[in-house]
Chain A
Amino acid sequence: MRPSRTALLLGAALAGATGSASAQPRRPVATTVAMVHPTAEAPPGWDLSRADDVLARIGRAATGDPRRGALDISSALLAGVEPHVAAAGLDTLGVLARPESADTILRYLDHRRVSLRRRALIAAARLHTPAMLRAIDARLGDSDPEVRAEAARTLADVADPTSVRALWAAFEHEAGSGLGSEGTALLQESARALGARGSDQDVDRLLTYLRRAPFGALARAFEASLRRPELPNPVKLRVVQAIAGIATPQARELLTRLVDEHRGRPTPAIDAARSAVSRIQ
């Protein structure tokens, strides 16, 4: 039997978790896996049929030993709990950000409930392993628009260049979908993620979508780009000049916001923005 997609991701997640702990003394792989693998059975003393009790234990686990807490919560969630309990558990796993919770988070990334998938995405972003990033990338293609947007949002937060290709795929899929001046939630979030985390070339590529994609989504991307301290000034200047070039009220509004935001911190891009604002009627 070929391994399922979930099993592949799980294996990769475990490898990622091991990788993230590379500063630790090297140990046999089997031992490491056994150590981080939750049991899919109720942790000792947990009665999973009593939701209030489980919620209380999740709360205590969040404030105790993070590794133990992550393992206990992960085991409880894999053993099966009511959905509101699972929601609390996933929120806590996100806060704990422990590799021991990797397979539980992967499992819940495929849960049938949208609210639990979104929570799993947030928790996955906190783990920030390559496997988790690939799993988040995959959720850009989710059947639910909220989950897709959440995936793009989390990719913007985790700031990993390996996700840029997936973000471009999502952005370009949505760029032609219309929906007025704002575009879909996925377009907005993927544009913002690309603006915030993309390379110089990615920002230049975003500029080519002016007049071709909803401006509201691109505005989010450019705002994020112009706030990046590490982005070279020439790139920022190109962004401002391109926005100034379309000379619409929306462009003027965006440039005005940039000028206001950077008041007292002149740069060539902000100077150009100020000049454009005075020019655009």
Chain B
Amino acid sequence: MKPLALALPLVLAALGVGCANTSISRGAFSLSTPASDAVVLAAVADRVRAAAPASLPPVAAIVADDPAQGLSIVDLGTGALVGRVQAPIASRPVVAGDLVVARVAGSVVAWSLQGAERWRVPDEGLDLVGASRDGDRVALVLGGAGVTRRRGVVHVVTAGDGSTVARTEIAHALGLPTLVGDDVFVPWDGQNLSVLDARSGDELSRVRSRDDVVGFSFREGHAVYYGARALYRLGAEAASGTAAGTPHYQPRPDELPGSAPFALDAYTSLRAGVDARERVRLAWRPDPALPGVALLHNTVFALYHRDVFALDATTGALRWAFVSPHDLAGVAVVRAGLVVVDDHGGASLLAPDDGRARWRQALPVGGPQAVLQLPADFAPAPNTDDPPRTLVESLLVAAGGSDARLLPAQRFAAQRLAALPGAPATAALVSILTRRGLSPELRAVVGEGLVGRTEGTDAMIEALELHYDYVRGVDVPPVGFLARALAAAHERRAVSSLVSHLFDPATPTDDLAPIVVALRELGDPSSVQALADFVRLYHADVGAVAPVGGGDAIIERDITDQGHLNAAVEQAIETIARAGGAPERALLDRVRAHPAAPETVRVAASRVRDGAPPEAPPGDAAATGDGAAPGAGTDMTFGAPAGRLGPDAIDGAMSARRPEVLACLRNTPSRPAQLRVQFRYDGDGRVSNVSVMPAAFQACVAPIVAAVQLPTSLAVRELGTWICPTAN
């Protein structure tokens, strides 16, 4: 670092202002240096505005499957291979104009797009954080071990030969740099954005955020943007140091697949090759032509391995979903849409309005990581005309598939599908719910999404008409969810199918009680006789039976199944008591006197014969799984605890401990928008095996969650999820 005495005159000279207008009076990155005032920052913004952006060749640097084999450079305009670099790449490469820069075995190396080494400089034991090219200089930032690892180097070199122009080593964490003319913009320590003189390394001005994080900076057209959790445009207003005082784009706090952050942590370098952080993130690009801070297409693209979800940047409304046949190795937003490159070398341009591919190009190489450099006006000629697809259709695709990694994206698609009105969305939900091999978690999301829908019940009834058939390959339909949904929709056409499933041995035992309750809700008198038959058949169905052909008697039903069956019989008894005639009531007398009947069944029969109101278990709202208060217009309450807890029941129990959980986030450099907590729970409501994402909060949050007492249920060992929003 240069001595203060030398730095000060240079700063003043560069700014061309008197002492009254400069806020820099100490060394670069000094903690005691005050933030610049509006005049200084306006001057910086003016310089950026006046600088002509260099023309960027549209290329992709595609890292080999084994990064030790180097990378290939492809011209995305022509699809031609431009060059190859055969060197063991140790960091995610950076495309900086006509150079590709990456860390290689103790050095940071720059190659031409044709793959010829131009120069190399020592890496000084640090990772490559970023590189920015403008004119005949390149600004490199080294560090990359996280915002708490405070050592970094800003190295400005000549683009042609790598000779040092300026070098500053400091005890601070440095973020992604931007070079514009003679100004180097460097975020540091999560809070500051300093503007250095590229020729000397001296600090010219500084933005200090008092209420937000600063991690990246980049140039787009005639503007420089910065931020981390929000996007700011550099200008005079930045002098306020507050989000409120500075025009910015604040991303919506929506839950996205994988809880993708608005921007990747700029203080931690990305690996070469597959880096999971790149696969789960948001893609966006500001539009400098619009006033303030606005995104191109007013859209944020949420990536999740193979999936892309296009969301309205203002409202969060989902516009479309796209599922790539292969993992996405790189993406870039341009005015014409979203360019995606998959790891098999397939490149596509997705239209911003509907997500249809308008251009496809098979690249000569593929790889797990594609770093794209595309000017905003990159617009290849359309060469494909995919048929239009509705949002429902695209979500149906995104919610399906057998790739287990995509579960969060599938869940997101299913949730968004459930939020859409109309019969097609209902039919799509039913279609997902009846798929083979559907994960229990997705099944629960889709099933709960069906309950409460009143449009498109034909699809539900049609699904309910199917019965399991091993030979024909027909699976058991999701009877429990369909029963609840059809009852809520007052769909009496479902009665005969529900009765049929009540007596189908393939119907899962935990679906029986919802069927009985649905029959009660639908109130069709014809179902009373069927319910009486059900009670007759199963009220004393306890104990062991000798197998066919002889031998010791065996108990064919485990305790959980027996509990589910008892709950269904109990519900049927309640229904018979309400709607049945004398013969059915006589049946109840027999049931309550039967010594082999389970106690819960006998008690239920006694209760209803004595005229007592139906009994609700403790935590009834939780047990229903829908959080409805007793008597709140639904009679879908169960006399026995539910088989598993619904999200509202979990949230209700967990929210009481939220303040303690939020305390774990105090004084952390990066505050996630939410915590995702997964755990196991048993029928007594005990919580175990707590897993917290981000994992950095595991140690603090897990003991708090493990101490929560959930409502009781019939769960043996269920998986639960709690999303804890962290916004105040």
Contacts and interface: CB of A to CB of B under 8 A. Distances in A.
Contact of B557 (A113, A166, A170): A113
A68 interface: no
Nearest to B595: A49
B629 interface: no
B535 to A, nearest CB: 7
B471 A40 contact: no
A54 B362 CA distance: 77
Nearest to A119: B548
B674 interface: no
A59 interface: no
Contacts of B595: 49
B524 A1 contact: yes
A117 B500 contact: no
Question: What is the interface residue range for chain B against chain A?
Answer: 35 or more
A113 B545 contact: yes
Contact of A4 (B476, B499, B540, B593): B499
A5 B596 contact: no
Interface string B103-119: 00000000000000000
A111 B506 contact: no
Interface in A1-60: 1-6, 40, 42, 48-49, 51
Interface in A104-156: 107, 110-119, 122, 140-144, 148, 150
Contacts of B699: none
A80 B601 CA distance: 14
A145 to B, nearest CB: 8
B471 A170 contact: yes
B471 A169 contact: yes
B717 interface: no
Interface in A65-84: 78-84
B500 A142 contact: no
A4 B470 contact: no
B540 A79 contact: no
Contacts of B474: 141
Interface centre among A86, A110, A166 (most CB of B within 10 A): A110
B386 interface: no
A87 interface: yes
A80 B537 contact: yes
Given A6-B500, A112-B538, A117 B505 contact: yes
Contacts of A2: 496-497
B547 interface: yes
Given A110-B503, A143-B470, A81 B540 contact: yes
B533 interface: yes
Given A1-B526, A3-B496, A140 B471 contact: yes
Contacts of A173: 470-471, 473
B383 to A, nearest CB: 42
Given A5-B500, A111-B537, A141-B469, A83 B543 contact: yes
Interface in B515-559: 524, 526, 530, 533, 535-548, 553-554, 556-557
A170 B496 CA distance: 28
A116 B509 contact: no
A107 B503 CA distance: 8
A79 B536 contact: yes
A118 B548 contact: yes
Interface string B552-594: 0110110000000100000000000000000000000010011
Interface residues of A, number: 43
Contact of B539 (A80, A119, A148, A166): A80
A82 B470 contact: no
A82 B543 contact: yes
B504 interface: yes
B495 interface: yes
Contacts of A141: 468-472, 474
B467 interface: yes
Interface in B492-512: 495-497, 499-500, 503-506, 509
A4 B530 contact: yes
Contacts of A48: 590, 594
Contact of A84 (B535, B544, B557): B544
Contacts of B554: 115
B499 A143 contact: no
B536 A80 contact: yes
Nearest to A115: B545
Interface in A160-180: 166, 169-170, 173
A84 B505 contact: no
A135 to B, nearest CB: 13
B149 to A, nearest CB: 55
A87 B536 contact: no
A34 B548 CA distance: 32
B272 to A, nearest CB: 43
A1, A107, A113, A118: most-surrounded residue (chain B CB, <10 A): A1
Interface centre among A4, A48, A113 (most CB of B within 10 A): A4
A188 B301 CA distance: 55
A49 B593 CA distance: 8
B526 A49 contact: no
Nearest to A137: B471
Contacts of A4: 496, 499-500, 503, 530
A142 B474 CA distance: 11
A87 B545 contact: yes
A116 B545 contact: yes
Contacts of B596: 49, 51, 82
A173 B543 CA distance: 35
B471 A82 contact: no
Given A1-B496, A5-B500, A84 B543 contact: yes
A142 B505 contact: yes
A143 B545 contact: no
Contacts of B530: 4
A1 B538 CA distance: 24
Contacts of B590: 42, 48-49, 79
Nearest to A4: B500
Given A5-B467, A141-B469, A150 B536 contact: no
A142 B544 CA distance: 21
A143 B505 contact: yes
B596 to A, nearest CB: 5
A87 B541 CA distance: 12
Nearest to B540: A82
Nearest to B554: A115
B548 A115 contact: yes
Contact of B594 (A49, A116, A117, A143): A49
Contacts of A143: 468, 470, 476, 505-506
Contacts of B504: 5, 110
A143 B535 CA distance: 23
A169 B473 CA distance: 11
Contacts of B541: 80, 82-83, 112-113
Contacts of B506: 142-143
Contacts of B503: 4, 6, 107, 110
B505 A107 contact: no
Nearest to B535: A80
Contacts of B546: 84, 87, 115
A174 to B, nearest CB: 8
5 contacts: A1-B495, A5-B500, A83-B542, A86-B545, A169-B471
Given A48-B594, A110-B503, 15 more contacts: A5-B500, A78-B537, A79-B536, A80-B535, A84-B546, A87-B545, A107-B533, A107-B537, A110-B505, A111-B537, A122-B548, A142-B470, A143-B468, A170-B471, A173-B473
Interface of A: 1-6, 40, 42, 48-49, 51, 78-84, 86-87, 107, 110-119, 122, 140-144, 148, 150, 166, 169-170, 173
List 9 tightest A-B contacts by C-beta distance, closest first.
A141-B469, A80-B536, A143-B506, A4-B500, A2-B496, A141-B471, A141-B470, A1-B496, A118-B548
